[in-house]
Structure 1
Amino acid sequence: MTDVEDNGNLDDNESIYNFNDTENLKVNADIENSKNMEKIKGENRVIIDFNNTESESDNYDYDSYEEDDNINHENINDKDVSIGMKLLETKVKHGLTDTAFNSVLSNIGLSISLYKLQKKLHQSVSLSPIRIDTCKNSCIAFTGDYHLLRECPLCFESRFDSNNKPVNITNFFSLIERLKIQFSDSKRAKEFLYRYEYTTTISNDNGNYDDIYDGKLYKKLVERGLFANPTDIALSLSLDGFQIFKHKTNDYWVILFINNNLSPEIRVKKENLLITMVIPGPNAPKDMSTFLQPIINELQVLEEGILCFNGYTQQQFLLKAYVTHCTGDIPAISKCLNLVGHNAYKGCRFCNLLGTCHIKNHHIYFPLNKQHGNLVLRTHEEAEDTINQLLMETDKSKKESIIKNTGIKGANLLFKLKGIEFPWSFPTDIMHLYFENIALLMYLHWSGGFFKDNKYNKNSYNLTKKELEYIGKLMKESQTCLPLEFGRALRDISKYHTGFKAVEWRNWIELFSVPLLKDIFIDKHINGWINYVKAVKLSLKYVISNDDLQEIKCSLITFYNYYENEYFKQDQERLSACRICFHYLLHISENIEYSGPCWAYWQFPMERLCGMLIPMVYSKLRPYTSLSNNLTLLDQLNHLQYTKEGKSIISNSECQKKWTLKQVYGAVEDYDEEFYWPSCDYILNEKESKALQKFYSNKNIELHGIKYGRLLTRDGHTISSEWIKRNKPNSRNNYSIQIRYRENEADDSKIENL
């Protein structure tokens, strides 16, 4: 094996490889890396035999079908393959059945079947998942110390059925294989240089928080010797649970990686999200570390480096990747860190605040009391010491005492990774905190539904039923005025607040809460809430300055003090108001300081992904098999563009659309915008021509032309004109123009609403 230098590239003088022979370079890299993959597979005790999984007709064994010998690939039209691949992507994303898809292919006259398309795709992109046996009830995965067990140690269900086949499986999608394929593409390999280019540009060292690389955590890792090469990859791990059926009987969990070496503009596009594992139901995992085991094994290999071919430099190099952040809601982070969670006396993962037990419901809550200025932050070393104590302690009562006093239940695999620094590698997700937790709880306070004992729901901040209905009515009436850019249309908050999505709560906080509450609340309540709104708006900025950071910190502290004084009131009967989510507000500024702006680690990409996965499950009998097979196809389709054969397939389907002048007009000098249909011949009237002559200081204005109904902006937004404005009651107006008239100024022209 050729020695690999520290800079991540082989020395041309010492290398035995011919760098002009790119095909041999790729083969050599594959040979070297096959040993690493065999190590991973051996350690995980898994079987790569996905094609033999028992399933419905949507699962294919590409190596055993008799049809293979009868397929004459020379007779398959390349154009048909290209079109078929695009249709296959549509089938996977929208859950089209096999029968329906084959009918579509037949109806449009394509000389190719679904099976042949899948076979062709598998030949072009040889990505297949690694199969791992799991407990029937999803308690554990049979990895690591459990790999030889024949029954679950927690629920005692058998690992195998009567035919000695696994009762339940999960599939692990390799990061190494996908990164190798992507790096082999010249354009993609250049895109991976974003981290290096960003961190070596002097203009970015301005004290602002633009990305995770501006945080203290990344800079600390660099000081340790990580990210020494331009090609080193920074990864974020994200995990969350979701329900695939409306009746909520199957609790699936997704483990996802985000490649932070991609620029923010493309980082979380759906084709760039790296799904690594979907853990099947019916229940949530009880021992998450057993599912993380194969992922950690592969990440440790990536930390040491694998030989890889760089399509941009046309050289081999040592590819390294490090996980720096892990994101999720509080239960998800507690699972992967092996913490007790929010119902522990030490429930905060950032500090050692001691919780208080409610005398009636026996839940733990987190008022600051006298600890306000004495919050001692946790450290990585402290957590490791606690874990070592738990591993060495044999007395059960003493072990329980350690767990109670620290909130840590035992070892977690993430601490084995070089890029993990507790607690700052696990920042707070503001999507759950700001929008799905705090916003809902505050609304419950205002509507008088927070406390179980109704006598505590009568306060000066309460809104009457009439006031709530009036607010909901105004929100509903403003639906048509909210542009699509702000997300889904508003709903009546008085009726549908329990079903509000995060983006709806965001719009409520940012756009509507203060204007609708300012004339109802007394000064101290509206001013208290304004501090929260101010902090939320600043936290949502893509670039956060040091001044913004201090403002966020001060605003959240002020809001928290107001909340404790007015909602908790130092009354033990109202202790349930002190949920841990309110305490986490006090750590937001520290999260930004260590990990950069909040958008870099919020859970919106994960929530969107979960929504994309649900349509892929169209088999109610074997939902996980259906989902897993479609994920495999989607992964292959996403990587098709990075392979030589895949590029050939894609290029055959690319053709430039040609529009007539009546449909699209974009030949306006110095402008990127385009005019779009509908259109008609038009003659300017006298008033319009005079207005244009005055505006352009030109009397030679052409009166004859074409009038268009839409304008496509440079950022891809479509603006419709008054001419084609829809008058439907649910039509939303995406754009509007504010015009201010000076007094006594003549109105020379009519300004049409956009």
Structure 2
Amino acid sequence: MPGHTTGKVVCSCCQKLVTSRTEYNHRKRKLLNTDSLAGDEQEDLRVPTNGQRVKVPWRLPELRVVPTNHNIPGSRPPSHRTASDSCNPERDLQEGSAIDVDHMDVDAPGVEVPGAAHTEPTYIPVRYHATVEDEEEEEEEGEDDEDVGVEDAEAAASVWEELAESLIRETQLSKDDLSEEDKAYLRVFALRVNNHMSGNLFGQLPFVFPEAALASWKTIVYDCCINSCCCYVGPHVEAQQCLYCKEPRYNTSGQPRQRFVYIPIIPRLQAFFSNQRMSQTMQYRATEHVHDPDKVQDVFDSEVYRSLLGKKVTINGKTLSHSFFNDKRDVALGLSTDGFAPFRRRKKTTWPLILFNYNLPPDIRFHIQHILSLGIIPGPKKPVDFDSFLWPAVQELLRLERGVHTYDRCSDEFWMLRAYLILVFGDIPAVSLMMRMKGHNGLCPCRTCNILGVRVPNSRKTTHYVPLSRDQLPRPPDGTNPTYDPSDLPIRTQAELLAQAREVEDAPSAAAAERLAKAYGVKGVPLLSVLSSLNFPYSFPYDFMHLLWENVVKNLMLFWTGDYKKLDEGSEEYEIDSKVWEAIGKASEAAGSTIPYAFTSARPPNVATDKTSWTADSRSFWALYMEPVLLQGRFKRPKYYHHFIKLVKLLNLCLQFEITKAEVEEIRVGFIEWVKEYERFYYQDDPQRLSACPLTIHALLHVADSIVKAGPVWASWARRFPYASMNRYILNHARLQQVKLMYDMQQILSLKAPPRSSVGTNVPGYTTLALLPPHRESIPFDSIDKGTFDKIVGTLCTRFESSPAHVKVVLNSATFQEWSKVQILGGGDLIRTAAVDRRSEDSREASFVRYELLIDRNARFPNRPVILQKETFFGHLQKIYHLTLPKEPLGRVRRPSAQLPPPSVPTPITVLLAVIRAYPTTERHSTLDIHYHTSSGNLDVIDMTTLGCLVARFRVAENSTKWAVIDRSGSLARALYVEPDAAPGEIAEEED
């Protein structure tokens, strides 16, 4: 924040003599006024078209004389109006003289879109007319501040808007309205985006393919500091140099030295509702999600969301007429950011800004095509004024709180589109910037509670640590040494936090402001506080990915290898011998071949030697599934292992797709006990070991409350950022997704063949799976080895209660086909047979499976009745057989499983059988649902309906004969998301 000078200036807001720093705060606070933020900016929506140039402002002007509904200027039947003339304001004005054109900005900046190659860019009529009725701007001083219903759709729609609505309805286009030239251009543009094609290469395509329709897109930019200190908007809009680093805004040629690309929110939200299928999908919040007060299943079960229901929207102290989420189409949003280094040297950082659309179902919510990228703060340094980069987004979010006039394709009606930001998350430094918190440099470093931090005695470091135990710490100057009950921490409130922020900003001097900021941990009023949908601090949960995988788990590994901040073991013995750690690393690296891609996209790295390949995804898999196996028996004293297993159990609870209130309490108590034990082992009440108590350990005490307040951790977990490496890619990707939605061209512009489920073989009676090639047809049954054939006969005898002799006779006339792959539909696994798995030495095993059999509990007692009991087995899938049996009946059908076809089997009979080499489990983990096997067992032939899912396995040590089996479908199941290429009902892509 500026204010490095000691002189005073006359404030342009209060006309008083104040410091330059105070004048800046006053000016910024004035600009935070809603009328300034949510002005009448113009729509900037670019869509390919063959239409003519049309320029449409955000808001149409008022009418001087209101015509009757029967005499709307320019109205005529839809069949007589074309897309090119339906949005021609000049023609419409000529047809009816009742409109005053003095205030109609027909020359306002338009919406530029690509046309044919080497031609002038064309413009398209904006079919989602974004209108915000803001009559408060016209109120005279002294009028009642209560909103009079302007936000209501009926009150907001003037006759002129009715005309606009009719035009929008008439010009609604689909892929059938696009020419082949348009589609050809869009396919080439999709090729560029999907393959990260460089601009130079893309520019050469017209010369390689001269017949193709190619064009370029203009970007939407704001000037920003060369060091990314600030964006030149709001209070910085007139600045000629950065107020923080003093670098000039422009170069010697008068051009901005760096720019920030921003992609508007409103047009893309409107595009969701212009697509009939997506408009229906967007109603998940209101029509599909069912709130259970005893469970937390989604953000819509959180206290943050539920506290908004029925509450009036307030903007700038004015209460509006509508309530939060009173329309089933109202949209809930989450904002996330994370500073990352796009290059290997990791010296330069960039900060992507993305929005999550919570109205979409959880299984597709985090797919890249549904994430709204707002842009990237370019770097190379951390922003100083993060609010300035959020300024354009907050402008739109305020307009969305009021309402934007929008057409809903699904209901064929206009309504006021409203969207509310309810969650903000990211790593701790990123959220500290958005909340304007001091973070670990403040005396109160936690954004959730007022716990006081302490420094390492006699150290120059400014970092504050937050241990619970403080008995051995030096007494502060006031002689008090507060103690904290982890079950009753001093939680911050919104009123307190914002009052402290205002006190900091109103401090008489920069030095006084810095003292207050350090004491409170708050640097000023955050821009996001103007959004009444946000709750400080509960709308800002700790991001589970960064908190656990990038901090807690990573730091534990550093403790065990003796690499944590130059601390020795102290009075404990938690370090693992270097040779043992090397052996763990080799076993971890070797496990990659037998862990399917579906479990983790990257192969587990060698933990002893590889320090750069780790991602949050790979570290989470390693911690939850591999570490409990590979660390067992490796510590000198088992208490450290048991302490870690307690953490894994808590993490598994947190990662459940739904969490009961009883489990939330278990998480609360569990983390309190775990943190206390952690301090005994690693902090040891030693003031010189305070660095073992960073904010990330303390934050675990807030996880349970965060689940209750903000929803399950997976809902605010930025697990995978969407290719956030280049401004150009983010911008082009957003444009491409908007075109896909508006013209319903998701499949055409995917540049892929139709989903492979359409070419897979679906077998009658087996609706949950599809068979995939390669396969062999008409296999002679006598070509099957005798052992397998006898197992097939036995399986059919059991299923149809027939004799072996009868079954063999029928099989003489049966048709055998052999398949190599099976896809479990509905987002399930792609499973291969062992023969396919062995074709490539570097492939990853995807043939070890879980399956179920009904076992006769009285099999050893021939005279007792049959009592079938379901049991789970693991094994290696060897063969998949598709049998077509002749019309001759085999006998009465037995139903060994509720999943098998019903007794009324059609003729000819179709049966799918899986041949599996069983691997009996010999033991299981004492605490977790992890099983072990040592050797193979018998051959089982099962009906394919009893095939469960893929499982992973790996050796517990290099060259060991003992294998650990990881079954994600058991109690270790966690919230996972189907990748876009493996959406429900489609065939998953294979990865090696």
TM-score when scaled to structure 1?
A: 0.82
Higher share in helix: 1
| C-alpha deviation, 1:137, in angstroms | 1.6
Work out whether residues 25 and 315 of structure 1, in 8 Å CA contact, stay in contact via their aligned partners in 2. no
Please give the secondary structure, in 1, of the residue aligned with 2:738.
helix
2:821 is aligned to 710
1:251 is aligned to 349
CA distance in 2, matches of 1:402, 1:501: 38
Counterpart among 312, 315, 332 of residue 410 in structure 2: 312
| C-alpha deviation, 1:135, in angstroms | 1.2
Please give the secondary structure, in 2, of the residue aligned with 1:243.
coil
2:303 is aligned to 216
Work out whether residues 191 and 751 of structure 2, in 8 Å CA contact, stay in contact via their aligned partners in 1. no
| C-alpha deviation, 1:338, in angstroms | 1.1
Q: For 2:663, give the aligned amino acid.
A: D
| C-alpha deviation, 1:476, in angstroms | 2.1
Please give the secondary structure, in 2, of the residue aligned with 1:515.
helix
Work out whether residues 49 and 131 of structure 1, in 8 Å CA contact, stay in contact via their aligned partners in 2. no
Work out whether residues 467 and 693 of structure 2, in 8 Å CA contact, stay in contact via their aligned partners in 1. yes
Q: Is the counterpart of residue 167 in structure 1 residue 264 in structure 2?
A: no
Between 1:373-382 and 1:523-532, the stretch displaced more is: 523-532
Which structure has the greater CA radius of gyration? 2
Q: Is the counterpart of residue 604 in structure 1 residue 719 in structure 2?
A: yes
| C-alpha deviation, 1:448, in angstroms | 1.4
Q: For 1:414, give the aligned amino acid.
A: L
CA distance in 2, matches of 1:694, 1:79: 59
Runs of 5+ unmatched residues, structure 2: 1-68, 90-107, 123-176, 312-322, 470-482, 862-917, 919-936, 951-992
Work out whether residues 229 and 244 of structure 2, in 8 Å CA contact, stay in contact via their aligned partners in 1. yes
Alignment of 1:697-736 (within 5 A): 697=800, 699=807, 700-701=810-811, 702-714=813-825, 715=827, 717-726=829-838, 728-736=840-848
2:586 is aligned to 473
Alignment of 1:289-688 (within 5 A): 289-359=387-457, 360-362=459-461, 363-369=463-469, 370-373=483-486, 374-454=488-568, 456=569, 459-487=572-600, 488-497=602-611, 499-521=613-635, 522-606=637-721, 609=722, 612-614=723-725, 617=726, 627-628=727-728, 630-644=729-743, 647=745, 650=748, 664-681=760-777, 682-685=779-782, 687=787, 688=789
Please give the secondary structure, in 2, of the residue aligned with 1:734.
coil
User: For residues 638 and 63 of structure 1, do their structure 2 counterparts lie closer, same or farther at Cα, with a shift above 3 Å needed?
Assistant: closer
CA distance in 2, matches of 1:186, 1:317: 15
Q: For 1:364, give the aligned amino acid.
A: H
Count of residues in Structure 1 that have an aligned counterpart in Structure 2: 681
In percent, how many aligned pairs have the same letter? Answer: 24
User: For residues 226 and 25 of structure 1, do their structure 2 counterparts lie closer, same or farther at Cα, with a shift above 3 Å needed?
Assistant: farther
Work out whether residues 306 and 318 of structure 1, in 8 Å CA contact, stay in contact via their aligned partners in 2. yes
Q: Is the counterpart of residue 283 in structure 1 residue 381 in structure 2?
A: yes
Please give the secondary structure, in 2, of the residue aligned with 1:155.
coil
Between 1:336-345 and 1:431-440, the stretch displaced more is: 336-345
| C-alpha deviation, 1:166, in angstroms | 1.5
CA distance in 1, matches of 2:77, 2:434: 45
User: For residues 81 and 315 of structure 1, do their structure 2 counterparts lie closer, same or farther at Cα, with a shift above 3 Å needed?
Assistant: closer
1:55 is aligned to none
| C-alpha deviation, 1:748, in angstroms | 8.6
User: For residues 170 and 63 of structure 1, do their structure 2 counterparts lie closer, same or farther at Cα, with a shift above 3 Å needed?
Assistant: farther
2:25 is aligned to none
| C-alpha deviation, 1:245, in angstroms | 2.7
Per-residue CA deviations over 1:226-254 (Å, capped at 9, x if unaligned) read: 11111211110111122233233532211
CA distance in 2, matches of 1:338, 1:142: 19
| C-alpha deviation, 1:358, in angstroms | 0.8
Q: For 1:476, give the aligned amino acid.
A: E
Please give the secondary structure, in 2, of the residue aligned with 1:277.
strand
Per-residue CA deviations over 1:328-374 (Å, capped at 9, x if unaligned) read: 00000011111111122100001111011112243311111231345
Alignment of 1:147-226 (within 5 A): 147-198=237-288, 201=290, 204-224=291-311, 225-226=323-324
CA distance in 2, matches of 1:25, 1:557: 64
User: For residues 676 and 650 of structure 1, do their structure 2 counterparts lie closer, same or farther at Cα, with a shift above 3 Å needed?
Assistant: closer
Work out whether residues 272 and 278 of structure 2, in 8 Å CA contact, stay in contact via their aligned partners in 1. yes
Between 1:394-403 and 1:548-557, the stretch displaced more is: 394-403
User: For residues 653 and 431 of structure 1, do their structure 2 counterparts lie closer, same or farther at Cα, with a shift above 3 Å needed?
Assistant: closer
| C-alpha deviation, 1:295, in angstroms | 1.3
Q: For 1:668, give the aligned amino acid.
A: P
User: For residues 197 and 69 of structure 1, do their structure 2 counterparts lie closer, same or farther at Cα, with a shift above 3 Å needed?
Assistant: closer
CA distance in 2, matches of 1:91, 1:386: 49
CA distance in 2, matches of 1:648, 1:519: 52
Counterpart among 214, 219, 223 of residue 117 in structure 1: 214
Please give the secondary structure, in 1, of the residue aligned with 2:364.
coil
CA distance in 2, matches of 1:352, 1:509: 31
Please give the secondary structure, in 2, of the residue aligned with 1:705.
strand
Higher share in strand: 2
User: For residues 460 and 308 of structure 1, do their structure 2 counterparts lie closer, same or farther at Cα, with a shift above 3 Å needed?
Assistant: same
Runs of 5+ unmatched residues, structure 1: 1-12, 32-46, 52-60, 71-75, 123-127, 618-626
Work out whether residues 82 and 653 of structure 1, in 8 Å CA contact, stay in contact via their aligned partners in 2. no
| C-alpha deviation, 1:185, in angstroms | 1.9
| C-alpha deviation, 1:68, in angstroms | 3.7
| C-alpha deviation, 1:425, in angstroms | 0.5
Per-residue CA deviations over 1:166-221 (Å, capped at 9, x if unaligned) read: 2211121111111122212222221221111245x4xx325211100101111111
| C-alpha deviation, 1:648, in angstroms | 11
Q: For 1:172, give the aligned amino acid.
A: Y
Q: For 2:308, give the aligned amino acid.
A: L
CA distance in 1, matches of 2:78, 2:386: 45
| C-alpha deviation, 1:684, in angstroms | 2.1
Q: For 1:713, give the aligned amino acid.
A: I
Q: For 2:820, give the aligned amino acid.
A: G
CA distance in 2, matches of 1:223, 1:19: 42
Work out whether residues 571 and 684 of structure 2, in 8 Å CA contact, stay in contact via their aligned partners in 1. no
Per-residue CA deviations over 1:683-728 (Å, capped at 9, x if unaligned) read: 2235515234324326233543321111122135321113333154
| C-alpha deviation, 1:400, in angstroms | 2.6
Please give the secondary structure, in 2, of the residue aligned with 1:485.
coil
User: For residues 750 and 586 of structure 1, do their structure 2 counterparts lie closer, same or farther at Cα, with a shift above 3 Å needed?
Assistant: closer
User: For residues 470 and 27 of structure 1, do their structure 2 counterparts lie closer, same or farther at Cα, with a shift above 3 Å needed?
Assistant: farther
Work out whether residues 234 and 321 of structure 1, in 8 Å CA contact, stay in contact via their aligned partners in 2. yes
Q: C-alpha root-mean-square deviation of aligned residues, in Å?
A: 3.9
Per-residue CA deviations over 1:511-551 (Å, capped at 9, x if unaligned) read: 12222223233342222212111111111111111122122
User: For residues 326 and 15 of structure 1, do their structure 2 counterparts lie closer, same or farther at Cα, with a shift above 3 Å needed?
Assistant: farther
Work out whether residues 29 and 308 of structure 1, in 8 Å CA contact, stay in contact via their aligned partners in 2. no
Please give the secondary structure, in 1, of the residue aligned with 2:495.
helix
Q: For 2:818, give the aligned amino acid.
A: K
Per-residue CA deviations over 1:257-281 (Å, capped at 9, x if unaligned) read: 1111111111111111101121112
Per-residue CA deviations over 1:560-607 (Å, capped at 9, x if unaligned) read: 11111111111111111011100000000000010111000011143x
CA distance in 1, matches of 2:544, 2:610: 22
CA distance in 1, matches of 2:268, 2:246: 36
User: For residues 680 and 100 of structure 1, do their structure 2 counterparts lie closer, same or farther at Cα, with a shift above 3 Å needed?
Assistant: farther
Counterpart among 194, 199, 216 of residue 93 in structure 1: 194
